[in-house]
Structure 1
């Protein structure tokens, strides 16, 4: 998710990738967010930060898709190359150390 700060004129002033005080969650499909990113003075850097964060989020989605495919016997875990198996197992073991195992926040909705 992306969270924004607004200025006194109610325009987007800054974006963040975690909730915090005085931050407002914004839909990824909000045209004002895209406009802010496009017109920002550090637009290229900001675009890269947003893409990097979305890439991290997509990795988790892909992991979940792999789990679903394995659960439905569409693929076997052993069908995956050894390095992929090792990375998945290691990430799961590390993730289990965290209290946050879900990729979706309880209040997060898909907004189109």
Structure 2
């Protein structure tokens, strides 16, 4: 997600990775309007912000890809470098913890 600033005609004039006082509107990083703005922009900072905003989504895609390759026995988990195995394991533990917290909150809707 990226946050955009617009001019009086509704055209994107700036892109941010978090909401700003003058840029509260969020747009998908895949938005054709945003891609067009970035393609025509001469300010490399706007492009860097957009790339940074898409990094987390891409990380998840790559993580899912690695897990799929492992599940289909295309590669073994142990084939990965130690640093990659540690990062994947840590992310899996964190996601598991988040899921268990979500389950706790979702079990009894009457509490809240």
Normalization by structure 1: what TM-score?
Answer: 0.62
Aligned to 2:107: none
Task: Give the unaligned 5+ runs of structure 1.
Answer: 100-112
CA distance in 2 between counterparts of 1:53 and 1:27 reads 7
Task: Give the unaligned 5+ runs of structure 2.
Answer: 100-112
Count how many residue pairs are aligned between Structure 1 and Structure 2: 96
Deviation string, structure 1 residues 40-90 (Cα, Å, up to 9, x no partner):
6xx211211222232332222111001111111111112212221111101
**Runs of at least 4 residues off by over 4 Å:** 16-19
- 75 and 91 in structure 1: CA distance in 2 versus 1, 3 angstrom threshold: same
8 A Cα contact 1:2 1:28, kept in partner = no
- 74 and 18 in structure 1: CA distance in 2 versus 1, 3 angstrom threshold: farther
Would you say 1:88 and 2:88 are equivalent positions?
yes
CA distance in 2 between counterparts of 1:64 and 1:7 reads 39
The structure that has the greater radius of gyration is: 2
CA distance in 2 between counterparts of 1:56 and 1:27 reads 11
Secondary structure of the 1:15 match is: strand
Normalization by structure 2: what TM-score?
Answer: 0.62
**1:26 CA displacement:** 4.3
